[in-house]
Chain A
Amino acid sequence: MKDFRKMWKELGMDLELHDQLIENQSNLHKKTHLSQKNRPKAMERFDHSFHASHAERVAEILDYRKKGGKCIGTFCIYVPDEIALAAGVLPLPLCGGSDWSVSYADKMFPRDICPIIRSTFGMAFSNTCPYKTLKDFALGETTCDAKKKAWDLLGFKVMEVPQKKDPIDRGLWLQEVYNFKEMVENLSGIKVTEERLHENIQLVNRKRRVLQRINEFRKLPDPPISGLDALLVSQVALNQDTHKFIEDAEVLAAELEKRADAGISAYDGNEIRVMIAGSPSPLGNAKIHHIVESSGLRIVVDESCTGLRYYRDLVDESHKDLDGMMRAIADRYFAIDCSCFSPNTERMDSITQLVKECSVQGVIHNILQYCHTYNIEAKVVENILQKCGIPSIKIETDYSQEDTGRIRTRIEAFAEMVKESL
């Protein structure tokens, strides 16, 4: 393996602390992903990309920057990738999934905010995030109060995501999308032309299509890929180079097709099929997915920003004029059913439809501690699921391992309950 220590040092990172972070994450990956049986061979590519996220991927970006390439740090799937790419700007989603770095955020942040924010800035404050100095600026959004105030504190730029879905909000959002275009154009000095934008709409849609294709296999009675691995694929999608990701994901999809034809399942028995709904699980965090699947359940769909919310909708490719494309992009992102919206009826419709499509027998609300909007909305979802006769359970937790025993007890009891009710 190539030694990246020199690179990390040049990036101003704390090598000793970074070693701790890497060791912690590698051990976790071994205990969770690598301990699974019946994995598709192509998952090795994604294991590699997981490890590469602080190594080869960083070297790639450094190289790109040396050639004059520009980067922005992002924290939410509302930031339109295709516009940034069309302006020659690389978006780097920076949400942290490591438990190791959480406490380092205490330097500036209160403890009672969500682990995503704490993990992200814990890495930045402890100088263990290689992306910290790679970005030209960071762009936050307004999907929760803790994030909004974090951006103010750190002096980040902010893109406003409205909180309702009325025409006036749609107008505001379209304006924000145009502002974003100007922001990235100013950064790179590259104009977003019709040709470049159309090309990148198609590129990002290709990424979404291959993710959709992989996800389709999970609907089979015997899914050829586990929920834990499917999560890793979409986590990697947020970090890896788009072209390289599409290449790896297509290899995986082809293998899944063969496995499906041959009846090769990622699972042993006839475990119950569950949906994970709610907060995202950024790269490095697969706590709930691991507990759920190692307790003998199958995760067949992820209703989250590190799942379907990220790739469910495509941008309409039929527009060729700039304004038409900009509107199509704004519409696509505005359709994301984040719990920051009030009301969020689209999400309820989507969940009831997914339950049917994916033969879901139970729903697990995966709520990150202090993620108030998903936490409260879980009750709305529960009420709707109850009407469809689908049991659900809410697990509210952070990234730490201290409560895994109790979560396991609840998940096992939930599975027993669902089985008995069938």
Chain B
Amino acid sequence: MNNAIGIDLGSRTTKIVQLKDGEIQHQEIFETSHDPLEHVKTTLSSLGKAPIMATGYGRHLICENFDARRISEIKACGKGAHHLFPGCRMVLDIGGQDYKLIHLNEKGSVLDFDMNDRCAAGTGKFLEIMAQAFNMDIEQFVQTAMNASGHINISSMCTVFAESEVVSLITSGESKEKIALGLHLSIAQRLQAMFSKMSVEDDVLFVGGGAKNDCLHAILERQLKRKIRRPEEPQVVVALGAALLANDLNAV
């Protein structure tokens, strides 16, 4: 049996990766609804028996309901990132409700990490709420920011205050493009502060749902003055790492 399954139950989306002989056999991403277990159950029954490694915000929930082991998403992220890009030493992961910066050694083990605390600024949720203030979906919102020819400084870091600041900027007639870009810049600033604390100068691998944001990617690359690579499907890197860890356990 050379199957292994990784489940990353995140706050916004759940990701499942199945490995067969070390290769991805199946991967899926679905919204974490009020009852994510039902969806997980259906998927698992179609995938057949395999060792499971759970990670993400709901890892304990998975372990309570299925025959699975668990690992933190930080370790899983490092594992997945190292597998895809063996030379990578810095990983930025922006998820639904948190963002993390992970420093890896040459073997992909975590040397250090940093993570936002309770505040939602800088997370996927922050941008979603801001997009809502514009009546846009997230793709439109990112595109709007990329069309900007200048930006407005957003002073509020707090999601709630930033939203009201945005609303008042819209009503005062400021251009949507400039505000949208301003919001992206405010997030980038927050992330940059996290990079400065870690003081590691390596290239960065950008993963998680946030990595799909081309505007944020471009700003970070310019501000951090280093190459920021993105995997083909940045959202499944953590689930992939979990599957690889399940596979490692299986091999022992």
Residue numbers of A with Cβ under 8 A of B are 391, 396-397, 402-403, 405-406, 409-410, 412-413, 416-417, 420-421
From A396, A397, A403, A416, B74 is in contact (CB under 8 Å) with: A416
Interface size counted on chain B using CB atoms at 8 A: 16
A402 neighbours in B (Cβ, 8 Å): 118
Closest B residue to A410 by CB, please name it. B115
Closest A residue to B77 by CB, please name it. A413
A420 neighbours in B (Cβ, 8 Å): 109-110
A405 neighbours in B (Cβ, 8 Å): 57
Would you call B73 and A409 a contact (CB within 8 A)? yes
Distance between Cα atoms of A417 and B105 in the complex (Å): 11
In the complex, 8 of the A-B residue pairs with CB atoms within 8 angstroms, ordered by the A residue number, are: A391-B112, A397-B117, A406-B117, A413-B72, A416-B71, A416-B72, A417-B110, A417-B111
In the complex, what's the smallest C-beta–C-beta distance from B100 to chain A, in angstroms? 9
Contact with A along B70-97 (1 / 0, CB 8 A): 0111110000000000000000000001
Interface of A is mostly: helix
Given A405-B57, A417-B111; 11 other pairs, CB 8 A cutoff: A397-B117, A406-B117, A406-B118, A409-B73, A410-B113, A410-B115, A413-B74, A416-B71, A417-B74, A417-B113, A421-B109
Taking A406-B98, A420-B110 as contacts, is the C-beta distance between A413 and B75 under 8 angstroms? Answer: yes
Closest A residue to B71 by CB, please name it. A416
Distance between Cα atoms of A405 and B98 in the complex (Å): 11
Closest 6 CB pairs of A and B: A413-B74, A413-B72, A403-B118, A412-B72, A417-B110, A416-B75
Distance between Cα atoms of A402 and B11 in the complex (Å): 14
A421 neighbours in B (Cβ, 8 Å): 109, 111
Distance between Cα atoms of A402 and B117 in the complex (Å): 11
A410 neighbours in B (Cβ, 8 Å): 74, 113, 115
Taking A416-B72, A416-B75 as contacts, is the C-beta distance between A403 and B117 under 8 angstroms? Answer: yes
Tell me which of A391, A402, A417 has the highest count of chain B C-beta atoms within 10 A of its own C-beta.
Answer: A417
A413 neighbours in B (Cβ, 8 Å): 72-75, 110, 113
In the complex, what's the smallest C-beta–C-beta distance from A408 to chain B, in angstroms? 8
A396 neighbours in B (Cβ, 8 Å): 117
In the complex, what's the smallest C-beta–C-beta distance from A295 to chain B, in angstroms? 9
Tell me which of B72, B74, B111 has the highest count of chain A C-beta atoms within 10 A of its own C-beta.
Answer: B72
In the complex, what's the smallest C-beta–C-beta distance from A311 to chain B, in angstroms? 31
Would you call A409 and B72 a contact (CB within 8 A)? yes
Distance between Cα atoms of A282 and B185 in the complex (Å): 41
Distance between Cα atoms of A259 and B115 in the complex (Å): 40
